[in-house]
Amino acid sequence: MPADLRHQAAKRPANLSIDASLLREARTLEINISRAAEEGIAKAVADAKSERWRAENRQALQSSNAFVEANGLPLERYRQF
């Protein structure tokens, strides 16, 4: 979900355990803890989805790469670069 829509979505409270010195430093720097946590979680979710997709499609990607190695790019003769 894009960041601008994520901030409009319904919010739910959550209890988090955060390193005390990190939390103190973030507050000193006036960092919005909730927003920073949400952005960090959103990145972790995106990374996990990406890794899951790569794992689920690993065989197809390997097969495609093997084809290109053996036969070259299918439309290579039309490349202009």
Positive or negative, the Cα torsion across 22, 26, 31, 32? positive
What is the pLDDT at residue 8?
Answer: 74
Count CB-CB contacts under 10 A for residue 42.
14
pLDDT tens-place string over residues 25-75: 999 999 999 999 999 999 999 999 999 999 999 999 999 999 999 999 989
Which helix (H) or strand (E) segment holds residue 67: the answer is helix 58-71
